[in-house]
A and B are shown apart, each in its own frame.
Chain A
């Protein structure tokens, strides 16, 4: 019964999305239809409620492990811990797509409830565009991926969830990324709405900005968490593989980063109108391309789950309609959008434009590298594109971007002279040069990590300069956000460079009681014992690791066997110190009874993820700052209106 109700709610929500779309477009085209336009906001709100109900019902079915539902039977198991039963709801194709439309529906409802800045026509056009995008995904779910499908006869037991996904980090990783993707779909709807009514104004950018900021924060958190998950769960000791699935989340992040900055220019300086619209379209296109790559099975990847070529075709068609339609509209309307404010090349806007272009170039490089294997496969040549391509080619554009990022925020809006900030530029250059010379002479480091360390250190100092000579308590939250986010980039960069420059690795076969060393660590294998969990058994090594003769820490790496579905996973063990992480993995038993142990000493590696979190924190602060100042403006507007009304009443 619950499953049928869930499906019914989904159909109703789809019908409301269709209504939202039809009435919205009518109201934009024809002033007389504006009586009907009163329906649009309520339709968006009810649609959000219905789709959320539908999703809640699916979560319920997973919570009680209703094995008469095909999706539950093929992705869950009664023996699984509750938290993974719940996360199993979106740990599969149908469920994650339902989560997608749910977030989208709720976002639409929220816009309909709170957004009052935009002219009514633009608002209608935006909600109509949102209706189109939602409707595409509803059709996808209802026609090809019904999550509520029943089995003819209920299964006796479920198939289980892929053990790699049975991890608390991964349970919440996909929803985070989806919130990011969906936030960008809202930005897309705003861009299309503004194009339809030709109202590309600072108000439009201010309305769109919180959505872009929110999406960007979610993507940042998602990418950071995903990277840490891959690092400790896969047992390979690496944190980024340039895997297509990772690139699928990086590409929208790059586009969203560019969009965020250009939307800020539009909001505060009324410049970069067409460029912002273009990025709004591109950012969501990258979410769709990412979804397509991950979902279609066209590129296999360690992270891809629940792939199906037929569904890939469906997403490809949606992608063609949405992106093709938006680009066509853009081509028709772009030259009718009037000029924004002018600015000199040497100005804050100029620096932002430069970095926007660099981000776009990096995006192009990642996109080409990700799609290239598909292209060559058409000619029957199989190629793997990996770090030897992405790292050096990307660095060519990352390095100038870092330099401009360090000094750009010190420039004034509209017009400035570069020599005014000469001292700051000299400070940055001196720091970078000093670090280059110091590390270049002292350590034997490859070029890229060396550049990473030098620019990271330079940026870390330079990113704090905008706070100079300011009363810190009265500095706007948005400025704090920018400073912290830029500082976070520097921190992450230092972590990445340090990991690749200074990592020590040791592979050894050790008998119980024997020791091995890696970097400053001495590790003794105390024993190996069998252990069991709720749905797995494992071989667990007990390692006593002491840093430079200190009191030892006990590490317990495992090699786990899951039985539903049968699969082996490697559970790494970590010791984190202020100056780095020791990473241990236990392998097979050699014929003579010794155990394979793989150890890495990775100086300052946690900075990669701390940096990512700082970047996200910066985004959160900027978002809070914007929302608070919006609220203040709104209150002010209300007060002015009240006063005017009072005065009129007196008169």
Chain B
């Protein structure tokens, strides 16, 4: 094969680059539209549950007095509550993150199992004072507003 003419060479390069970049863009757009890991609040999960076994995320507050450790010592069960009192039971086997406590925000990664129990593979809690899972950013405010409402006398 002989060296291409300069004009043709540039054209071939530009076309190759464009095809690859547009291809990457289209592929990315297609894959992102089908991105499996969607985020659910408890009320959304109850109203419109994802398919059983589909990888999703569930986020909310850990219900007070709901954390229980099973007999094997490594399985936790607890309930995640939403903003309107709806609750989803969760089962998780593993070491819970340091800041996983009752009454605090959590995102559980996993899938909905049969019987409406959410089976979590991974728990994301507040990591430290600087990091909150992005889905939980407003969660503390809800909590704060709710607490203010419940504890302030004479507030209409």
| Chain A contacts for B16, CB-based, 8 A | 353-354, 357
Contact A362:B24 (CB < 8 A) given known A307-B130, A384-B37: yes
Indicate if the CB atoms of B69 and A365 lie closer than 8 Å. Answer: no
B75 CB, nearest partner CB in chain A, Å: 9
Q: Would you list which residues of chain A between 398 and 434 have a CB under 8 Å from chain B? A: 414-415, 417
Picked from A344, A565, A596, the residue with its CB within 8 Å of the CB of B2 is A344
A32 CB, nearest partner CB in chain B, Å: 37
Indicate if the CB atoms of B24 and A304 lie closer than 8 Å. Answer: no
Indicate if the CB atoms of A415 and B1 lie closer than 8 Å. Answer: yes
| Chain B contacts for A364, CB-based, 8 A | 21, 24-25, 28
Indicate if the CB atoms of A389 and B35 lie closer than 8 Å. Answer: yes
B47 interfacial by beta-carbon distance below 8 Å: no
| Chain A contacts for B39, CB-based, 8 A | 382-384
Indicate if the CB atoms of A509 and B127 lie closer than 8 Å. Answer: no
Q: A396 vs B28: C-alpha distance in the bound complex, in angstroms? A: 11
Q: How many chain A residues have a CB neighbour from B under 8 Å?
A: 64
Indicate if the CB atoms of B13 and A353 lie closer than 8 Å. Answer: yes
| Chain A contacts for B38, CB-based, 8 A | 383
Indicate if the CB atoms of A361 and B37 lie closer than 8 Å. Answer: no
A168 interfacial by beta-carbon distance below 8 Å: no
Contact A300:B131 (CB < 8 A) given known A275-B13, A361-B23: yes
Q: How many chain B residues have a CB neighbour from A under 8 Å?
A: 49
B29 interfacial by beta-carbon distance below 8 Å: yes
Indicate if the CB atoms of B24 and A585 lie closer than 8 Å. Answer: no
Q: Which residue of A lies closest to B128 (CB)?
A: A567
B155 interfacial by beta-carbon distance below 8 Å: no
Q: A362 vs B23: C-alpha distance in the bound complex, in angstroms? A: 11
| Chain B contacts for A415, CB-based, 8 A | 1-3
Q: A415 vs B9: C-alpha distance in the bound complex, in angstroms? A: 13
Q: Would you list which residues of chain B between 1 and 32 have a CB under 8 Å from chain A? A: 1-6, 9-10, 12-13, 16-17, 20-21, 23-25, 27-29, 31-32
Indicate if the CB atoms of A162 and B32 lie closer than 8 Å. Answer: no
| Chain A contacts for B13, CB-based, 8 A | 275, 353
Indicate if the CB atoms of B74 and A342 lie closer than 8 Å. Answer: no
Indicate if the CB atoms of A388 and B55 lie closer than 8 Å. Answer: yes
Q: A343 vs B3: C-alpha distance in the bound complex, in angstroms? A: 5
Q: Which residue of B lies closest to A418 (CB)?
A: B1
**0 or 1 for each of A592-609: is its CB under 8 Å from B? (1 = yes):** 101010100000000000
Indicate if the CB atoms of B72 and A509 lie closer than 8 Å. Answer: yes
Indicate if the CB atoms of B137 and A585 lie closer than 8 Å. Answer: no
Q: A594 vs B138: C-alpha distance in the bound complex, in angstroms? A: 36
Indicate if the CB atoms of B3 and A342 lie closer than 8 Å. Answer: yes
Indicate if the CB atoms of A385 and B74 lie closer than 8 Å. Answer: no
| Chain A contacts for B96, CB-based, 8 A | 587-588
- Highest count of chain A CB atoms <10 Å: which of B4, B32, B99: B32
Contact A162:B128 (CB < 8 A) given known A345-B12, A382-B135, A596-B74: yes
Indicate if the CB atoms of B1 and A368 lie closer than 8 Å. Answer: no
Closest CB pairs A-B (n = 3):
A509-B73, A587-B95, A590-B73
10 A–B contacts from the bound complex (CB under 8 Å): A343-B3, A344-B1, A346-B1, A357-B17, A383-B39, A384-B35, A385-B35, A567-B98, A590-B69, A596-B74
